[in-house]
Amino acid sequence: MARRVLPGLPLSLGITLVYVCLIVALPLGALVFKAASLGPEAYWEIVSSDRALASYRVTVLCAFAATVFNLVFGFALAWVLVRYRFPGRRLIDALVDLPFALPTAVAGIALTTLFAQNGWFGAALAGVGIKVAYTPLGIIVAMAFTSLPFIVRTVQPVLEELDPALEEAAQSLGGSDGSIFVRVILPLLAPAILAGVSLSFARSLGEFGAIIFIAGNQPFETEITALLTFIRLEEYDYQAAAAIASVLLITAFVMLAVTNLLQARALRYTVKA
């Protein structure tokens, strides 16, 4: 290790550690402490109650559906942005980030209005008998909107760096477009796609603001776990709120670990270029 010549370690590290402890670790610790103080039996009873289980099911299934949609559409979007030149490309490239820039509550009321019975989309869909607002479909729409940028932004840079020579080689060996895509391009993009998928899924699991407006929020039907936590708080049932929030926290940590692993792998492929 080189001799330390730069100043400022105690100050910068001090600020960082104190801040991380006060702002991040202390509250999360308090939550874990509160949930742990329930005791295993009471804790288990809350987190495995029928209503909680139903909320996990709704949240996970909708997040899964939203992620599958974003996997296909996000990939197509990244492909179009990287491979094709067309008027308005830069504008669309910039618009991809709108779901991150637009506050979730604003997205929530906008999507609800679009998909309500008399809304632009809702009226058209009602004609074919599809109801989106106040159904699980609405939750999926809100989740897909808020997590749209993840897969686009993880796939895009890797796609840009892809060496055309690999495709040319495959073509000269007589591969069809379809088989080159499946056997050459997809495997190279797989780590980036997986990383994007896990980020997108994690975000959908925790999303709150955009969903509660469009979901209808019926217990057992359209109630997500984050909302159930919020409802328990409003009922002053702090123990239940702590227990259910701790489930979300554990899920977040598991997803964080998965994402970091996948990203470390994805980075190995991007950094080389």
- Joined together, the tokens standing for residue 271 give 């950094």
Residues 207-236 that bind another protein (CB under 8 A): 207-209, 213, 226-227, 229-230, 233
Residues 23-82 that bind another protein (CB under 8 A): 23-28, 30-31, 33-34, 73, 76-77, 79-80, 82
Q: Which segment (45-53, 60-68, 215-223, 243-251) binds another protein by CB under 8 A?
A: 243-251
Q: Is 167 in the site for another protein (CB under 8 A)?
A: yes
Give, in order, the Cα–Cα distances in Å from 4 to each of 1, 8, 10, 14: 8, 11, 12, 17
**At its nearest, how many Å lie between another protein and the CB of residue 244?**
9
Beta strands (DSSP E) in 22-135 are none
Which of 65, 132, 193, 242 binds another protein (CB under 8 A)? It is 242
Amino acid identity, residue 174?
Answer: G
Q: Which segment (38-46, 47-55, 84-92, 126-134) binds another protein by CB under 8 A?
A: 84-92
Q: Is 190 in the site for another protein (CB under 8 A)?
A: no
Binding residue count for another protein, defined by CB under 8 A: 111
Q: Any idea how long the chain is?
A: 273
Closest C-alpha to 142, from 109, 101, 94, 175: 109
Q: Report DSSP state, residue 224.
A: -
CB-based burial of residue 205 (10 Å sphere; 0-12 exposed, 13-18 middle, 19+ buried)?
A: buried
Q: Is 165 in the site for another protein (CB under 8 A)?
A: no
**At its nearest, how many Å lie between another protein and the CB of residue 175?**
9
Q: Which segment (45-53, 130-138, 214-222, 245-253) binds another protein by CB under 8 A?
A: 245-253
Give, in order, the Cα–Cα distances in Å from 231 to each of 36, 47, 226: 20, 14, 9
Q: Which residue has the tokens 């959908």?
A: 204
Q: Is 173 in the site for another protein (CB under 8 A)?
A: no
Closest C-alpha to 239, from 54, 36, 50: 36
Helix (H) or strand (E) holding 70: helix 50-83
User: Who contacts 230 (Cβ-Cβ below 8 Å, separation ≥6)?
Assistant: 208, 241
Residues 101-160 that bind another protein (CB under 8 A): 101-107, 109-111, 113-114, 119-121, 144-145, 148-150, 153-154, 157-158, 160
**At its nearest, how many Å lie between another protein and the CB of residue 133?**
13
Q: Pick between residue 67 and residue 154 the one whose CB is nearest to another protein.
A: 154
Q: Is 252 in the site for another protein (CB under 8 A)?
A: yes
**At its nearest, how many Å lie between another protein and the CB of residue 137?**
14
In degrees, rounded to 5, the angle at the alpha carbon of residue 226 between the alpha carbons of residues 222 and 228 is: 65
Q: Pick between residue 136 and residue 157 the one whose CB is nearest to another protein.
A: 157
